[in-house]
A and B are shown apart, each in its own frame.
Chain A
Amino acid sequence: MTAAFDRHLLVAEDISVHIPSGGGTVRAVDRVSLSLERGKTLALVGESGSGKSMLCRAILGIPPGRAATRGRIIFGERDLAQLPEKELNAIRGREIGVVLQNPMSSLNPVLKVGWQIAEPMLRHLGISLLKARERAVELLGAVGIPRPAERVDCYPHQLSGGMRQRVAIAIALACDPQLLIADEPTTALDVTVQAEILNLLGRLQMERRMAMILVSHDLGVVAGRAHETAVMYAGRIVEQAPTVILFDQMRMRYTRALFDSIPRLDAPSGQPLASIGGQLPDLAAELQGCRFAPRCRRAEDRCFAEEPPLVADGLEDHRFACWFPCEPGISVTPPGPLLPKRIMS
């Protein structure tokens, strides 16, 4: 192993997820590489259907149905893609915790929340039932649930959406994982609760020195919360940089369009929100050129013919895939007060 792997907790190379379906093979994730240092946060941003969840599931080794995953997924010193199911199961839930998008459906409705938190501990840590229950109460307290000793015996339907997502976070943290994958942890929640949950995740991550993959379709969520941001479009990463640099100078035109679609408090009132016209290409079709070209205002012939490579231009750790990038000098307004989209709609 090279020195890079000491710093890096996760190095994924050339990951593809191909899902066989009626209309051909859906390339939900196409040759994506990323890396994540210990204790750091990587944000994955892209609109709905861009392949964020499939990428997460590929890392976990749980692609949907009969889908095939390709690529190398080096976690610690092992290649998860090569591990048999049994050894993967020893890593899932123990070294990698997961929080899913919708807390209304991601908790089992017929099991008490305490049991659902205890389960991974019983499975991975070999502790007694009593001890697991004690720790479940502690965890409920740690994720900010009042009166945890009572709540541990609740069923999910007895808790609010925000509380349920806290329970889901407690489940993910149960075995003190090194990596937390949070797949749109706040998308299904009320605006007021969203910030609370994101702050909680940030705090827990610092305290426990976890690395985190924070998935969102909202660039606004990511600002100030992730060290590194990768923007996904149609199964590909199209721009990736340290978050500060990305917000300082967005090069790829899709990133820019995504940014312009964030509702902002400081925008002159009455100004219409720039939405990205058109829709994602059909991922089951053979795609040529830049995948954003059909929707890009700047697109030229070359964009439709040749796929731009994901490369750096100047700054080494800022890579983007665009033939005609935005000017590097023209910085976008720094992420001032950003609001989740919902408040506007």
Chain B
Amino acid sequence: MRFLWGKLVHLSLVVVAVTALTFLMLDHVPADIASEVAGQGATSEDIAAVRERLGLNDPLPVRYGRWIAAAVRGDLGNSFASGQPVVEAIRSHLPVTVELIVLAQLFALLLAIPAGVVTAWRAGSPLDRTLGTVAFGFASLPAFALAIGLILVFALRLKWLPATGYTPLTGGIAANLKGFLLPALSIALVEWVPLMRVLRGDMISTLKEDFILLARCKGLPTRQILIGHALRPSCFTLVTVFGMQAASLIGGAVLIELIFSLPGIGRLLVTGIFAQDYPVVQGCVLLIAMAYVGMNFLVDVCYGLLDPRVLKGGR
């Protein structure tokens, strides 16, 4: 497990670097936060008072140091706009995004794994070519376009699912899931394509391995050879891409969150940016950076689970 610890240290440095960079960039945005916060009609004394209260007069390194010191203690400051603690805001928005990501990536896997396995097994066949074309079609559509299409069909025409809106889990699991189905599907229909492609590629090379020939010599049925012997050693790139996708969705599902009125992190972040609510933006950036780092870590853990050789001194 030592290599995992080394990784952890390395990745914490990444988090620090990313947040520091955000601080620096936000500092250069040509806008006077203090006057925004003080509101219209505020006198210059009011504005100066606000600036003093928010600590905006201090030099940048001091402010960053203060922020990160508080962040380590779990305090990300208060929203300029609402006065709500940023941690609170994230805590209320995060579950929505997490549920969206989990469902979206689950659907994506459910599409990508069977498709990748079958197209690798029958590489070059009409089935492979058809699925490849279909995948290409989906990959060239943006998720929001798919979202609108799905709403048109399933919500407006068939009326099976709500077009928009979010029901918290307290409102019942069924209602909650119904609200997530279309947004998750819109994301999954785009994300499954790269997953399928990398799986197909890796699987094609795995199927050329001697141990697959030996598995056939054992008289195992094709399904068992594909799933039991070939799939696991073919999953490394899949897991890597999967992790990157999941991490990028933390803040990257904004359009989907907006279209389906889901109160997720993406929406929190974008609203924060437009309102120049820097503590919120900074908090979201920290969360996103940590998500990347966390995913990276999980991907490494998965490598270890996929291949017993990884833990014993690296591939």
A residues touching B (Cβ–Cβ < 8 Å)?
60, 62, 88-94, 96-98, 100-102, 105-111, 119-120, 123-124, 155, 157-158, 168, 171
Contacts and interface: CB of A to CB of B under 8 A. Distances in A.
A90 B214 contact: no
B2 interface: no
B220 interface: yes
B211 interface: yes
Nearest to A120: B218
Nearest to A96: B217
Given A100-B213, A102-B210, A171 B218 contact: yes
B307 A106 contact: no
Most buried by A among B209, B214, B216, B218: B218
A60 B216 CA distance: 9
B220 A119 contact: yes
Contact of A89 (B210, B221, B309): B221
A107 B307 contact: no
A92 B233 contact: no
8 contacts: A92-B216, A94-B219, A100-B213, A100-B217, A109-B211, A110-B307, A158-B312, A171-B214
Contact of A107 (B214, B216, B217, B232): B214
A93 B220 contact: yes
Nearest to A106: B210
A108 B233 contact: yes
B217 A157 contact: no
B221 A106 contact: no
B307 A109 contact: yes
Given A98-B218, A171-B218, 18 more contacts: A60-B217, A62-B216, A88-B219, A89-B221, A90-B219, A92-B216, A93-B220, A98-B217, A102-B210, A105-B210, A108-B233, A110-B233, A119-B215, A119-B218, A120-B218, A120-B220, A123-B219, A157-B309
B171 interface: no
A155 B308 contact: yes
B110 to A, nearest CB: 22
A98 B309 contact: no
A256 to B, nearest CB: 33
A123 B220 contact: yes
Given A157-B309, A157-B312, A106 B219 contact: no
A106 B213 contact: yes
Most buried by A among B217, B229, B306: B217
Contacts of A98: 214, 217-218
Contacts of B211: 105-109
A100 to B, nearest CB: 6
